Amino acid sequence: MLSFPLLVVNFKTYSQGTGEAAVKLARIIEEVAKANGVSAAIAVQPFDVRWVAKTVDIPVLAQHLDPVTPGSNTGWLLPEAAKEAGAVGSLLNHSERPLDFEHVAAGVKRLHELGMVTIVCAKDAETAVKLATLNPEAVAVEPPELIGTGRAVSKVKPEVVSESVKRIKTVNPRVRVLCGAGVSSGEDAALALKLGAEGVLLASYVVCAKDQRAAVEDIIGGMLSFKK
C-alpha cells in the first residue's frame, strides 16, 4: 500500500486542507506525484477520509485511530470505520496527538489485524528505535520543536535523522524511516534522503502554501534530484 521513497502530506486541521479544500489538494498531490513517478500519501481528517478516498487513487491515511473494536467506545476513532471509508492506515503518536508506548503498541497491533498500515511518529532517535520494535511500516522522526518552523531537521539536526536511520535498521531492517519537522523546500527533502531517510512527512509548507501545486512540485523535485 505504501511505496518508497515516499512523500506524505499531513493536512492537519488547516482550513486549506479541510472539506472541499482537502479534495482539491489531494488531487494536486496525486497529479504531481504521478506525473513525476513519485509515491505519495496523504493524511486527512476523519470527516474527510471517505470523500477524499473516493476522489484519488493515492493512499489515504487517518491522522489518528484508536486501538478499539466495535462496541461501546463513544468518542473513540474505530479502525474498521476508517478502513470502510477508504483509509489504508493511520499516523500514530504525532507530537500533536501523543500517546504512551502501550497505546501505540496496541494501535499498531490493531491496525495490522485489519491489514492496515501504520506510520508512527517519534520525537528523537531513542524513541524512534523503541517504536521500531513494534514493527510499523514506517517511523517518522520529527523533533517537535522544529515542526512548523520552516527549520528542517535535515538541516538543523541532521544527526537526528542519520542516527535514527542507523539504529532503526539495526533493530528492525524492514521498518522504513521518514524525516519530518520543518521540511519546507526541495533541498530539505533531498538532504533528508541523502541522510538515509526513505521519504518525508510534512504539512504546512504544502497545505498552507499560496501556490500548493508549486510547493508539491518543489518537494518532489528535491526527492527526484537525490534519486538522480
Q: Is 103 a known active-site residue?
A: no
Closest CA to 57 of 37, 41, 80, 81: 41
Closest CA to 121 of 112, 130, 113: 130
Q: Which amino acid is at 115?
A: G
Closest CA to 220 of 52, 2, 40, 26: 40
Q: Is 94 a known active-site residue?
A: yes
Beta strands in 66-219 (DSSP E): 89-92, 117-122, 138-141, 176-180, 199-202
* Separation in Å, CA 89 to CA 41, 48, 211: 10, 14, 28
Residue that is written with C-alpha cell 500519501 in the block: 41
Instruction: List the catalytic residue out of 20, 31, 64, 94.
Output: 94
Assess contact for 62 and 46: CB atoms under 8 A: yes
63 DSSP 8-state letter: S
Give the 3-state secondary structure of residue 122. Answer: strand
Residue that is written with C-alpha cell 532503526 in the block: 168
Instruction: List the catalytic residue out of 64, 137, 142, 163.
Output: 142
Active site residues: 94, 142
